[in-house]
């Protein structure tokens, strides 16, 4: 009871807004692969290496969330990136990649 009463505001917000999920299982499943390896990533070497690893992980997760094969996406991205014009870089983002993957 104490738990429920202490979090009453959050508990009563869910029924009033249908866009809110009843639990956070989806979010937890999305971060599980990264949480599992977090001790390994403590030793990325440098701050810049850690930031680069985070950027790649973000691309992989964004590709998954947009129903893209992460391997195929990154393979195509790394092939095309050196010749891509700077103004067209947004076309390489995972949510737009399907329309430009015919290259």
Q: What is the pLDDT of residue 69?
A: 92
Domain coordinates of the chain in residue numbers?
2-100
**CB atoms near residue 50 (< 10 Å):** 14
Q: Rounded to two decimals, what is the model's pTM?
A: 0.58
Band of pLDDT at residue 101, cut at 50, 70 and 90: very low
**How much is the average pLDDT of 78-90?**
86
Q: Which of 31, 56, 81 is nearest to 92 (CA)?
A: 81
**How much is the average pLDDT of 73-99?**
85
CA atoms within 13 A on the CB side of 33: 7
Task: List, for residues 5-37, the tens digit of each pLDDT value.
Answer: 898 888 888 788 888 887 888 888 877 777 777
């Amino acid at each position: 009871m104490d738990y429920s009463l202490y979090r009453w505001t959050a508990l009563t917000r869910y029924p009033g807004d249908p866009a809110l999920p009843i639990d956070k299982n989806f979010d937890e499943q999305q971060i599980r692969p990264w949480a599992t390896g977090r001790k390994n990533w403590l030793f990325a070497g440098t701050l810049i290496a850690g930031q680069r690893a985070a950027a790649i992980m973000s691309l992989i997760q964004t590709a998954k969330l947009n129903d893209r094969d992460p391997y195929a996406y990154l393979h195509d991205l790394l092939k095309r990136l050196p010749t891509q014009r700077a103004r067209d870089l947004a076309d390489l983002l995972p949510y737009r990649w399907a329309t430009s993957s015919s290259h």
